Amino acid sequence: MKIYNLIASSALAVTVLFSACTDDFDELNVNPNGATPENMAPAGVLASNMRKAFHEDRYEFWRGVVLHAERFSGQTAAGYNGNWWSPGDSYTYNEGWTSATWESYNTKSNNGYGGALFANSKLVLEFLKSNPDYTNAKEFEGIAKTIQAFQFLKLTDLFGDIPYSQHSDVENYPSPKFDKQKDVYAGLELVLRDVVENLLNNDTSIALMADSDLLYGGSVKQWQKFANALRLRMAMRQSTVDANTASSILAEVVKFPLPENNADNAGISRTTSTTDLQNQYWGFFSTWKGFNGEISYSWDSYNMTWGPGPGAFLPAYDIIEYMKGSNLYEGEVNAAGNLTTNINPLVGISDPRIDKFFMAPGGDAANAHKGMRPRELYVLDGGSIVSKNSHAVEGNALNYSWMHPSIWYDGGDWNPVSLDYAEVCLSLAEAVERNLVTYKQSSSDWLEAGLNASCERWGATNGSFSSDVVTRFNASTASDKLEILYVEKWISAYTVPHQAYASLRRTGSPRLSYLTKDLVLVGSYTEPDGSVTPNKQLNKYAKGSTDYALPASMRIPESEVSVNPNVPEASKDMSTKVWWAGGN
Amino acid sequence: MRKLMFVSLLMLSALITFAQSSRVRGKVTGKSDGLSLPGVNVVVKGTTTGTITDLDGNYEIEVQKNQSLVFSFLGYTSQEVLIVDQTELDIILESSSIGMDEVVVTALGIKREEKSLGYGVSKVDKEEISPATGGSVLNSLQGKVAGLDLGSSQGGLGTSSRVVLRGNSSISGNNQPLYVIDGIPMTNENVSEGQGVYDRKDFGSGALDINPDDVENITVLKGPNAAALYGSRAQNGAIIITTKSGSKDNRLGVEISSTTMFDVVGEQYLPKFQNKYGQGKYDNNIPTYDISTTSSSWGPEMTGQSLTSWSGFEDKLVYSPQNDNVKNFFRTGVKSTNTIALSKGNENVSSRFSYTNTSSKGVLPGNDQKKHNLFLKSNMKLANWLKLDAKANYITQETEGGTWLGEATSNAIYGLFMLPRNTNLNSLKKYNYMDTPNDPLVGTQMNPYWTTKQDEMINKKDRFIGFAKLDFKINEWFKAFARVGTDYSVNTIEERYNVGHKQLSTGKWVKNDYTTQETNMDVLGMFNKTFDKLSVGVNVGASIQKLRNSVTFNQGIKAISNGFWNIQNFETKSSAYNTYEKEVQSVYSSVNLGYDNFLYLDASFRNDWSSTLPSDNRSYFYPAFSLSMIASELMELEQIDFMKFRLGYAQVGNDTDPYRLATTLQANTLISHEGQPLIDASEVPGVPNLKPERTSSFEAGFELRALNNRVFLDLNYYDQTTKNQILETPVSMASSYKKKLLNAGKVKNSGLELMLGITPVKNEDFEWESTFTYAKNTTEIVELYEGIDQQLLSNIEDLAGGIQIVAEKGKNGYGNIYGKALKVDGKYLLADATSFDTGTPNKKLGNFNPDALLGWMNTIKYKQFSFKFLIDARIGGEVLNGTSAILSQAGITENTLQYRESGVELSGVNSAGEAITANMNAQTYWSGLANYGEPWIVDATNVRLKELSLTYNFKLDPNSIVKGFSLAFNAYNLTFLYRAEGAKDIDPNQSWGIGNGQGYNLLNVPSASSYGFTAKLKF
């Protein structure tokens, strides 16, 4: 009897064990640690997208902006004695940095700080599509699309042709095809036009975004202006290769509001925590204080104790000399160049922003600003070719200007700005000057407005600067006028991610960029075995991966090539010009 | 391994001699051939008193009247004879049907006669499992189990060991076997943080927690055939651990064992340093002393010059070689393990309790571990038909320091190895607490004294493993059990970075609590009946497995006051809490048929339901079959004692991790923007229609015992294929994700396993046993997924110009190591007259898997002495010597003495293909070389004297209260008998955690040789 009871009860146990069972499995497998795409809050997701796009995380900021765009822009230099990056690195392809840039701009950044902008955008847009009655659904859509377009623009301006039509569709296109940059531009213009004319054309404020809109606190009007300004940026960028299209876009752009002052700038306040390594330039400097212990400096009411650090980067020779208003000659760096004709259209005009962009050598106002020649490997010293890096004067970071402490030091008040009113004005100055559009005022007025806005943003005492430039502008030939506009646009783009490099590539100005030149030094040289060669010839600058030339784009990294057979051959070369700079 | 069991019996009997009562002597012969049998066990029943027969089969033993003598010998049926007044007793032993009634523990804890199994198993007994081998039971398996590939841990105390059985079968998933303890699966989750070369930490895997002193034996079920009944997680095989039980002996048994091992980092594991040139760099081709911009050792020759010091405590330093500055940094590690075990029992109840205390000091200062292990196992007969088994095992441990790896700033090895060759350790010991310079290191490395004292990694773990099991014996042919077991652990990992840390100068604190719980409930009914010559066994069972994990993450940055470790003390705080749950339900059945003791057929069927899969694919079924034939039963074969053939086929299905079916949006745990949460799509998009993975396997085996069991051979061939793998495959970044999940891929592993045991000499006083294992595995990636021939397992882009570990279509494609070629078409690629152009293409440099694994174990016994040594070998495979690359770049190692004086002239081509030559100084040359992968790839083949021990078992009076006493000298990881050129400064067996991205050595904590003593005392 007992036995049968037991058998019965074990049979019962088995049955009980498995009868209820798998019904609740679906529920069990729902991730409790996050929201589903069906019940998300778009505001928090867009906050991440804004931070990602406009306040790049340190990791991607180093790789995308500092190591590439800024060094390619001719505005910064690295490679002094003890720097992390040797002079030769500047134009040398680096798979790690390039793939990190490509990866971070397209997906979540490797260290987990930078968000998943494109994946987020897709989920937000799908959510809004299936919830058309969600409060401010239309405006949310407009903002989501604007940020997405901004990020696409960042990618295509750096890399040229990129996946666009098949982007962000992992299910169907794990290896998306690459679209021509021209088509990407056309596609983005369509999107942004819809954003400006429809989605964001209500002068309203989104309550749900009051805190999470890191740019404009939920002001739809300001987003509309920004989206429209992006169209202006894109139109100008393509105006050199396709003036007609640019002109017709501009005609539409000016029908809608554009940023009107610095309050409309697209930017996010820099995170205030001084310990936040993700904090743009701060994180860059603070990661490693550098050698020689610490030295005290003060500049512009900042008192600092810091070493130059291997990460400290210095202004390039060019931007300093242009801002100082120096005479510049091609022949200085190019054996074939002319040594008598000045090519600086702004010679004699000193730019007051220089003390806001930079700290004079050693933090001493008595020292003249000095920029470093990027990629410079050797200098001649008393007839001998010696390495710049170890040269007592030329290789010492303390003999050069540094980036202004407000940008990188504790408590600095600089904030990352991705598009400012000055750029809008200078773009309009060019557009009006080139008769691409007429809008409100003359090109010289726009130029003056732009310089005023830039000085205002940087807190520089304008004095007679703007009017001096305008006077010079008005007195110049047509081509010098454009040269002035381009140089000023390039200068004003300092610390605006990617813009100086884009401007330089499109306009070819400033004309004299040491970065593109190759110069041979002749002198006595000590060989590795100790012997001295009397008339040794060595290249002054590093050759890089572009044979001395300014990189025309970033190349698509091997990491992408290995998973995507659709990468075009031309995209695997840093010498390939992007479409708007005259490429295919 | 049966041999070893036998040896242990011999050992026991040798311990014991007789004191009084009547003396019985005689000769034991075998019935079949009438020849004398040496080595037969003669034991007084119910005691531990016994002896063995000598070479001629003679024995002599003292026994009291009315006691019985038991004669037993492998391969023969035991005989029991009651002693009334005999003094002469000759015994004729009948050979048993197979001589192989040995029982092994198979899946679900079911004990089976080994002869009836249709698949290969390997068993390692307690004699082979010792804390002397490094405190981990896993270390005791290497070289003893054919086909078990164990990577040594690489980060000091408490880091994980990677075990692979029969090759890697999963492309991107888990390739670790399932660990089962007393029939219940346990978690071998490895808590690790960070992945790259800069941010890697290893906190050990769960399998390390098992106390070697509590282990009775370990059975290794190598393939899915053996493990099919465990389902999903056993597709990589299973390691079945059985713990010791209490004895039925009425008296209190006390066992005390104490092992102390000393770990020494010898020259053999250290880089070969140069001691001629100190800190500095080539300045215009002249080696120049420089402390401000470089800590490389490219400076001038050291001749005792007085030069400016880097130290804040002195103005000048003496610039002279410090030959042993690295070696002297290490201390002698001490690991002491003390166990006391109590056991008592009778017919109805038996219990065993043990307490083990392990206290270790690692070779790195500051790397300490303390561990307590409490173990209680009881077995109670509640009624004739009901038995209760229960176990409670509580483990608590705390490890401090030493687990930062690679180029992590806090990895003391990084700072230590990178020290300029003129650095005097004494001047390093003095450092400012907060201010630089604390060391001569220009870079992110830190003063090793600073980091070992000021940075702390504290890993605390509390773990409970227990079960309760009711056994029902309904009648002679039907038994059943119901069992519940749980494995619960809380692992707290705290990282403390003190203010003054080079990179985290304001201090940082991370505290992560990992809670994992796995609960298994199962019931099993077992029918066993014999009908004439046919024996039938049917098992029917069901189980539920529940997994629940949670992680609490806390991080604080910028300490308000120093040395106060609480989240309140930090200005920037972030935290998160995540939980994961999973459940698998299963029903299974197995049918075991045996015919006439020579033919056995097994079939098993299992169906799983996993919560991690979509409802349509959630249920998956898989069968397994095996056949075993004892050929020696069929025919009389001369000199052959036992011969068996076996065949097996099995399928296993596998599920995946929870929550992979849908994309989710989660707040970034690392940052917010000024308090605004930032919400992001998950890293990998959800895939709603995932299917279970499938592994199918075929194996064939052969076993032979011959020459009176003096020769033993076990041969196994297997061929297993895993398809439909749930892969995380990299996708184009422009898809907005880095990877996606899919079902794809087909990986085939085939190979051979061989175990050969011989006993060349055996007599009463002297015995030599030799066991040889060999295994060779070939992994073939038949397909990955459409259009893709290569899948990245690990991308180490910052090492040696970029290294990729990949799985690639084709034979031996798993674990290929790719890196930059040094030359193109046999020519150097040069940028200009002074430097390399590192733009050479990537090429396959090697593969991290060994071609073959060998082990050779020898046991020699002479009277009371027992001497044992194990040699193991790993043939083939490559490892990228990243340590050497980094140190050569800095001019630290001996190889960089080359070209110091006159540079080197290299001829090659430039990017345009024109022939050019470059003159480089040693620094340019060596640091250039460090940007290529090819120069640093080395053959990982090595032969090692792995274990050595000498034990003396004291002869004891059987009436004394001390029942056993032995003393042993142990040595472990002694020396390499062979290492390839280029690998002589590393341990090529070290692995990087338990993941699949293996194949490189980068500033690992050097392996150490261990020497020490074990004393065992038994009452």
Q: Do B921 and A386 touch (CB under 8 A)?
A: no
Q: How far is CA B150 from CA A520, B139, B263, B267, B323, in A?
A: 57, 8, 20, 23, 34
Share of chain B above pLDDT 70, in %: 91
Residue A19 has pLDDT above 70, yes or no: no
Q: Are A37 and A127 in contact (CB under 8 A)?
A: yes
Radius of gyration of chain A (CA): 27
Interface A-B: count of C-beta contacts within 8 A: 293
* Helix/strand/coil for A105: helix
Residue B662 and residue A36 in contact, taking contact as beta carbons nearer than 8 Å: yes
Confidence check: pLDDT of B155 > 60: no
Which of A291, A394, A396, A575 is the best mutation test for B, with the most CBs of B within 10 A? A291
The string of pLDDT tens digits covering residues B327-342 is 999 999 998 999 999 9
The HSE-up count of residue A395 (CA atoms within 13 Å, CB side) is 22
The answer to whether residue B382 neighbours chain A at the CB level (below 8 Å) is: no
Q: What is the pLDDT of residues B938-948, one digit of tens each?
A: 999 999 998 89
pLDDT confidence bin for B15, thresholds 50/70/90 = very low
Highest average pLDDT, of A12-26, A355-369, B699-713, B982-996, comes from A355-369
CA distance linking residue B296 with residue A410, whole number of Å: 31
What distance in Å separates the CA atoms of residue A427 and residue A237, rounded to the nearest whole number?
9
Residue type, A427: S
Please give the distance of CA A306 from its chain centroid, rounded to a whole number: 26
Distance from CA of A268 to the nearest CA of B (A): 10
pLDDT single digits (tens) A319-332: 999 999 999 887 77
* Residue B190 confidence (pLDDT): 60
User: Residues 47..106 of B with a Cβ closer than 8 Å to A: which?
Assistant: none
Please tell me which residue of chain B has the smallest CA distance to A48: B678
Using pLDDT thresholds of 50, 70 and 90, give the confidence band for residue B200: low
pLDDT (tens digit per residue) in B398-442: 988 867 777 888 888 999 999 999 999 998 888 775 655 688 888
User: Number of C-alpha atoms within 13 angstroms, CB side, residue B807?
Assistant: 28
> Which residue in chain A is spatially nearest to B521 when comparing CA positions?
A17
Distance from CA of B437 to the nearest CA of A (A): 6
The pLDDT of residue B101 is 55
- Does B676 contact A211 at a Cβ distance shorter than 8 Å? yes
C-alpha B842/C-alpha B809 separation (Å) is 17
Contact status, residue B424 vs residue B317, Cβ threshold 8 Å: yes
pLDDT score at A449? 98
pLDDT at B762 over 90: no
Residue B464 is predicted with a pLDDT of 94
Backbone φ, ψ for residue B347 (5° rounding): -55, -35
Chain A residue numbers touching B924 (CB-CB < 8 A): 528
**What string of DSSP letters covers B152-221?**
BP-SSTT---EEEESS---SSS--PPEEEETTEEE---EEEE--SSSSEEEEEEGGGGS-GGGEEEEEEE
Structure confidence at residue B13 (pLDDT): 41
Q: What angle do CA B206, B207, B209 make, to 5 degrees?
A: 75
Nearest Cβ partner for B731 among A34, A174, A278: A174
Q: Give the separation between CA B810 and CA B748, rounded to whole angstroms.
A: 10
Of A7, A167, A214, the CB nearest to B676: A214
Q: Over pLDDT 70: what percentage of chain A?
A: 91
Instruction: Answer whether B735 sits within 8 Å of A169, measured CB to CB.
Output: yes
pLDDT for res B764: 79
pLDDT at A288 over 80: no
Residue A182 or B43, more confident: A182
**Beta partners for B828?**
B823, B908
pLDDT in tens, B446-466: 899 988 888 888 989 999 999
Total residue count of chain A as it appears in this document? 584
* Predicted confidence (pLDDT) per residue in A391-448, tens digit: 889 988 889 999 998 998 877 889 999 999 999 999 999 999 999 999 999 999 999 9
- How many whole angstroms separate alpha carbon B54 and alpha carbon B28? 10
Over residues A265-276, the mean pLDDT reads: 77
Six-digit token pair at A546?
A: 């572009």
pLDDT at B709 (0 to 100): 82
Structure tokens belonging to residue B722: 């895993």
> Residue A310: what pLDDT?
59
Q: Does B194 touch chain A (CB under 8 A)?
A: no
Residues from chain A contacting residue B555 (CB–CB below 8 Å): none
Cβ distance of B903 and A527 shorter than 8 Å: yes
Q: Looking at chain B, which residue has its C-alpha nearest residue A115?
A: B680
Question: H or E element: which one contains A289?
Answer: none
State pLDDT tens for residues B368-396.
999 999 999 999 999 989 999 999 999 99
Q: B787 CA to chain A: closest CA distance, Å?
A: 9
Measured distance CA(B962)–CA(A249) in Å, rounded: 99
Q: Kindly state the DSSP code that residue A35 receives in the 8-state scheme.
A: B
Pinpoint the alpha helices (H) of A116-219: 117-130, 137-159, 181-194
Of the two residues A236 and B504, the one the predictor is more confident about is A236
- Residues A556, A562, A563, A567, Cα dihedral to 10°: 40
Angle at B428 between CA B423 and CA B430, to 5 degrees: 145
For the ranges A299-308, B310-319, B931-940, which has the lowest average pLDDT? A299-308
Please, what are the domains in chain B? Answer: 2-96 (2.60.40.1120), 121-264+334-410+455-812+849-877+941-1018 (2.40.170.20)
pLDDT at A274 (0 to 100) = 52
For residues B797-818, give the mean pLDDT.
89
Residues of B with CB below 8 A from A82's CB?
Answer: 292-294, 442
Q: What phi and psi, each to the nearest 5 degrees, are found at residue A172? A: -95, -30
Cis ω before A87 (30° cut-off from 0): no
Range scoring the smallest mean pLDDT among A142-146, A186-190, A248-252, B623-627: B623-627
pLDDT 10s digits, B941-982: 999 998 898 999 888 887 788 888 989 998 988 899 999 988
Cα A239 from Cα A189, distance rounded (Å): 14
Q: Which H or E run includes A356?
A: helix A354-357
Residue by residue, DSSP assigns A460-508 as ---TTHHHHHHHHHHTS-HHHHHHHHHHHHHHHTTTSTTHHHHHHHHH-
Where helices occur in A434-464 by DSSP H, the ranges are 443-458
pLDDT tens readout for residues A173-185: 999 999 999 999 9
pLDDT at position A228: 98
Q: Position of tokens 């429209």?
A: A228
What is the token pair recorded at B23? 């003396």
Residue-by-residue DSSP string for A362-428:
GG-TTSPP--B-TTB-EEEETTEEEEGGG-TTTT-GGGS-EE-HHHHSTT-----EEE-HHHHHHHH
Q: Is the Cβ pair A48, B680 closer than 8 Å?
A: yes
pLDDT number for residue B199:
59
CB A275 within 8 A of CB A436: no
Average pLDDT value for chain A? 90
How many angstroms separate the Cα of B889 from the Cα of each of B197, B282, B885, B924? 17, 13, 6, 9
Q: How distant is the Cα of B838 from the closest Cα of chain A, in angstroms?
A: 9
A447-484 residue pLDDT tens: 999 999 999 999 999 999 999 999 999 999 999 999 99
**Which B residues 533-572 touch A at CB under 8 Å?**
542, 544, 557-558, 571-572
Average confidence (pLDDT) over A225-250? 98
Residues of A in contact with B921 (CB under 8 A): 528
User: Measured between alpha carbons, how far is B847 from B876 in angstroms, rounded to an integer?
Assistant: 9
B729 interaction partners in chain A (CB closer than 8 Å): 174
Cβ-Cβ contacts under 8 Å for B899 (sequence gap 6 or more): A528, B920, B921, B922, B925, B926
Answer for the pair B906, B928: CB distance below 8 angstroms, yes or no: no
A495 against B211, higher pLDDT = A495
Rounded to the nearest 5°, which phi and psi values hold at B7? -60, -40
Higher pLDDT, B214 or B249: B214
Nearest CB to B557; choose among A40, A123, A275: A275
B35 touches chain A (CB under 8 A): no
pLDDT band at B188 (very low <50, low <70, confident <90, very high): low
pLDDT tens-digit readout, B826-856: 999 998 888 898 878 889 999 999 999 999 9
CA atoms of B719 and B696, how far apart (whole Å): 8
pLDDT, position B2: 43
- pLDDT of B382 reads 93
Mutate to test the interface with B, among A24, A170, A539, A548 (most CBs of B within 10 A): A170
Cβ distance B733 to A294 less than 8 Å, yes or no, reads no
- Residues of chain A in contact with residue B281, where contact means CB-CB under 8 angstroms, are 390
Q: Is B632 helix (H, G, I), strand (E, B) or coil?
A: helix
Chain A residue nearest residue B577, CA to CA? A33
B482 vs A13: CB contact, 8 Å cut-off?
A: yes
pLDDT digits (tens, 9 = 90+) for B295-309: 999 999 999 999 999
B959 touches chain A (CB under 8 A): no
Q: How far is A524 from chain B (nearest CA, A)?
A: 11
- Among the partner residues A17, A119, A545, nearest to B542 by beta-carbon distance: A17
What is the distance in angstroms between the Cα of A169 and the nearest Cα belonging to chain B? 5
Q: Nearest CA to B180 among B223, B131, B132, B233? A: B233
Query: Which chain A residue shows the shortest CA-CA distance from B730?
Result: A563
Question: Nearest-CA distance from B611 to chain A in Å?
Answer: 5
Nearest CB partner across the interface for B733, out of A31, A48, A102: A102
**Residue B95 in contact with residue B109, Cβ under 8 Å?**
no
For B:873-892, CB contacts with A below 8 A are none
Interface test with B, best of A10, A566, A571 (most B CBs within 10 A): A10
* Best CA proximity match to B780, nearest among B741, B724, B726, B722: B722
Asked if residue A79 has pLDDT above 70, the reply is: yes
Judge whether B650 and B621 are in contact, CB under 8 Å: no
Which residue in B has a C-alpha nearest to residue A311's C-alpha? B443
Contact B6, B41 (CB under 8 A): no
Q: Which residue of A has its CA nearest to B678?
A: A48
Task: Return the higher-pLDDT residue of B913 and B923.
Answer: B923
Query: Tokens standing for A127?
Result: 């959510």
In chain A, which residue's Cα lies nearest the Cα of B482?
A10
d(CA B975, CA B364): 20
Residues 6+ away with beta carbon under 8 Å from A178: A161, A162, A163, A566, A567, A568, A571
Chain B residues in contact with A173 by the CB 8 A cut-off are 732, 735
B830: tokens are 């040069």
Residue B248 pLDDT exceeds 70 = yes
| CA nearest neighbour of B264 among B971, B1002, B749, B880 | B971
A83 vs B698, more confident: B698
Can the peptide bond before residue A510 be classed as cis, meaning omega within 30 degrees of 0?
A: yes
**Residue B100 pLDDT:** 45
**Chain B residues 842-861 within an 8 A CB cutoff of chain A:** 842
Best residue in A381, A529, A566 for a mutation probing chain B (most B CBs within 10 Å): A529
Distances from the Cα of B835 to the Cα of B175, B906, B923, angstroms = 43, 10, 11
Check CB contact of B496 with chain A, cutoff 8 Å.
Answer: no
Predicted confidence at residue B153, as pLDDT, reads 63
